[in-house]
Structure 1
Amino acid sequence: MTAPVLSPVRGPTRRTFLAASAGLVLSGRPASTAERRIVAAGGVITEILYALGRQDLLVGVDTTSLHPAEAMRDKANVGYVRALSAEGVLSLRPTDLLAVDGAGPPDTVKLITEAGVRVARISEDTTEAGVAARIRMIGRIADVADRAEALAARVEAGFAALKQQRDALAARKRVLFVLSLQNGRVMVGGARSSADAIIRLAGAVNAAETVEGYKPLTDEGLIAAAPDVVLMMKHNEHAASPEQVFGQAALSATPAARTRSLVAMDGLYLLGFGPRTPEAARDLMAAVYAGARP
């Protein structure tokens, strides 16, 4: 929702109306600090709060909050992370909005901030250090820094063990992440994407590293990518069968087609970059390289 341009008025402003409907003051602080009420905009935030045992603070989550399953069942739904509604969020009377960097739209977040809700932006950094820092930051916000430190340390140990497995690989396979197959266009995850990060963590080469971000790849580009394995998410519009994938003319000419090598994984598990990321990368490694499980 885009905030309207307001001319000077004598009656209540939109900001005042939103704040009043949420029971908040306009000083940038909640009306009462006795009870924390957090809305999470980003599945990784929800996952971390549950992992830290502070789901009691959550009053609302976005539609990417798919783990654990009870989050979407037990908490109010505030919509898609990139299409939030100020009214929907404020109706839950939150004291805090924890939002990943890509959450929005910006005008909505601005309205929420102006209504007196504390907004904390959570980095979507997909590096190993970024995952651990995200856990520690959310732990500080939720007043469980000690628990967060212990969880971050376990995650860092998982990454260290994963590195040992990567270093033991004799050769690196080429993996192509396919986000979607729509109208014959193959949307792939290139360099600097979350797909690129998880492929590298799993000890493989991103076959689409010549493009950046999530973009369609031409038939010539797909053939030149020569993936040994195609990787996809396994739910909703992102899912596809081997017949659908390798029925694409260009993909049928790749090494992956000859071996029917299609790996499908849960999207948040694969690309969420939360506490389960070392396990997700290890599972991907095991699927790409036979016998790679510890």
Structure 2
Amino acid sequence: MLNSARCRPPARRRTLAALALTLGLLTGACGSGGGASPSGGSDASPASASARAAAAEKQLAKNTIVPLKGKAPTPKLPVTVDSSDGRKVTVEDASRILPLNGGVAEIVFTLGLGDQVVGRDITATFAEAKKLPQVTKAHDVSAESVLSLRPTVVLADTDTGPDEALEQIRDAGIPVVVLDPATKLSDVTTRTTRIAEALGVPDAGKALNRRMSSDLAAARDAVPAGSKPKVAFLYLRGSAAVYLIGGKGSGADSLIEAAGAVDAGTEAGLDKPFTPITTEALAQAQPDVILMMSKGLESVDGIDGLVKIPGIAQTPAGMNRRVVDVEDGVLLGYGPRTPLVIDILVDRIHEK
């Protein structure tokens, strides 16, 4: 959920790996899209930015997918596609699709193929997917659970594992298409194109990319001229004593840049995705705004608890209590709902 007064780590497995190490779109086609932007236009006035943010928050609060307009596409199969594990995979049937990644699932549903999806992984938290059987334990895929659903095609990414489970699925004769994770805006259209091609609906993929590109452009048009705040992405899990600041490659840096701001961690020279928070690191970063995931903020008892972390209260963001949080399953999902995230950031991180 969103809080207008006051954001999920990158792809799950990759984020966990990055955390373990530290502890021890706007490409795309031009033209009109397949749906309207939240505000129905791209007027760059502050009122437009606020209206877009309010509409985006309302849509995200529903936690639902907005499919492309019109009749659901009919897959044209078979197709043979390149898989990111170096294989060529032939897909002959898309009647029982199993995405093993929440962002991938969002794309499949938005393309209009949600009725063919037979299961989900733990990161698919939107309403349409929650009724489906879950095939992961923590973040590991259960081959037995996957095979019990009799999928005709499985969509994974390079962070999906364990490898033994994917091999067991392949050995059962099920095509497994592996995709590169999306960790920045320019990855979104590429991944959409690849998923649509693998499922035999390339035209729907082009339409979705047009819609997302149009909405992203409208969101960025609303950035106030001359405003360039420094924004720090903090990944916190208070109960586990995890306190990290994002830097280059965190996943949030691309969103912050797209919203017309500067990633404070990257500018401060943090060349790793995540660095443990220290008073020195915060003093160097000096963020004007702090960006977080909602559960992370909750884990430290909200803004009152956040400013008690050493160094936070001494930053401009801490002194002014300027904190923006976005629901964990959306912030770094890098899927069809990412333009809504940019709408919110554009409105919330710039001083009015």
TM bucket (normalised to shorter chain) is 0.7 to 0.9
Instruction: Find 2:101's aligned residue among 26, 42, 62.
Output: 42
Q: Residue 80 of structure 1: CA displacement?
A: 5.1
* Closer, same or farther: CA 247–130 of 1 in aligned 2, 3 Å: same
Q: Is the contact made by 1:128 and 1:159 (CA closer than 8 Å) also made in structure 2? A: no
2:337 matched to 1:280?
A: no
Instruction: Find 2:161's aligned residue among 81, 92, 104.
Output: 104
TM-score by length of 2: 0.68
> Residue in 1 aligned with 2:288?
228
How far apart, CA to CA, are the structure 2 residues paired with 1:34 and 1:104? Answer: 23
Q: Which has the larger radius of gyration?
A: 1
Q: Residue 41 of structure 1: CA displacement?
A: 1.0
How far apart, CA to CA, are the structure 2 residues paired with 1:237 and 1:228? Answer: 17
Instruction: Find 1:72's aligned residue among 122, 130, 140.
Output: 130
> Residue in 2 aligned with 1:147?
204
How far apart, CA to CA, are the structure 2 residues paired with 1:41 and 1:102? Answer: 10
State the identity as a percent: 32
Unaligned stretches of 5+ residues in structure 1: 1-27
Q: Residue 81 of structure 1: CA displacement?
A: 7.3
> Residue in 2 aligned with 1:264?
325
* Closer, same or farther: CA 104–237 of 1 in aligned 2, 3 Å: farther
Q: Is the contact made by 1:29 and 1:117 (CA closer than 8 Å) also made in structure 2? A: no
Q: Any idea what the Cα deviations from partners look like across 1:198-233, whole Å, max 9, x if unmatched?
A: 111111111111221133232211221111111111
* Closer, same or farther: CA 80–213 of 1 in aligned 2, 3 Å: farther
* Closer, same or farther: CA 140–151 of 1 in aligned 2, 3 Å: same
2:258 matched to 1:198?
A: no
Residues 204-223 of structure 1 aligned to structure 2 (within 5 Å) = 204-209=261-266, 210-211=269-270, 212-223=272-283
Q: Any idea what the Cα deviations from partners look like across 1:99-145, whole Å, max 9, x if unmatched?
A: 12211122222222222221111222344432112122222223322
What amino acid does structure 2 have at the position aligned with 1:134?
R
How far apart, CA to CA, are the structure 2 residues paired with 1:184 and 1:89? Answer: 34
How far apart, CA to CA, are the structure 2 residues paired with 1:65 and 1:280? Answer: 17
Q: Which segment is superposed worse, 111-120 or 183-192?
A: 183-192
> Residue in 2 aligned with 1:171?
227
Higher RCO (CA-CA < 8 Å; seq separation 6+):
2
What amino acid does structure 2 have at the position aligned with 1:221?
A
* Closer, same or farther: CA 144–88 of 1 in aligned 2, 3 Å: same
What amino acid does structure 2 have at the position aligned with 1:254?
T
How far apart, CA to CA, are the structure 1 residues paired with 2:284 and 2:115? Answer: 50
How far apart, CA to CA, are the structure 1 residues paired with 2:332 and 2:279? Answer: 26
Q: Residue 47 of structure 1: CA displacement?
A: 0.8
> Residue in 2 aligned with 1:52?
111
Q: Is the contact made by 1:189 and 1:215 (CA closer than 8 Å) also made in structure 2? A: yes
Q: Residue 239 of structure 1: CA displacement?
A: 4.6
* Closer, same or farther: CA 227–91 of 1 in aligned 2, 3 Å: same
How far apart, CA to CA, are the structure 2 residues paired with 1:283 and 1:98? Answer: 30
Q: Is the contact made by 2:235 and 2:296 (CA closer than 8 Å) also made in structure 1? A: no
| Aligned-CA RMSD value | 2.3
Q: Residue 161 of structure 1: CA displacement?
A: 2.7
Q: Any idea what the Cα deviations from partners look like across 1:170-221, whole Å, max 9, x if unmatched?
A: 1311111111143655212211121111111111111111221133232211
Q: Residue 61 of structure 1: CA displacement?
A: 0.5
Q: Which segment is superposed worse, 250-259 or 97-106?
A: 97-106
How far apart, CA to CA, are the structure 1 residues paired with 2:346 and 2:93? Answer: 46
* Closer, same or farther: CA 78–218 of 1 in aligned 2, 3 Å: same
How far apart, CA to CA, are the structure 2 residues paired with 1:147 and 1:81? Answer: 32
Q: Is the contact made by 1:82 and 1:105 (CA closer than 8 Å) also made in structure 2? A: no
How far apart, CA to CA, are the structure 2 residues paired with 1:203 and 1:81? Answer: 35
Q: How many residues align?
A: 259
* Closer, same or farther: CA 184–213 of 1 in aligned 2, 3 Å: same
2:336 aligned counterpart, secondary structure: coil
Q: Is the contact made by 1:233 and 1:239 (CA closer than 8 Å) also made in structure 2? A: no
How far apart, CA to CA, are the structure 2 residues paired with 1:200 and 1:80? Answer: 34
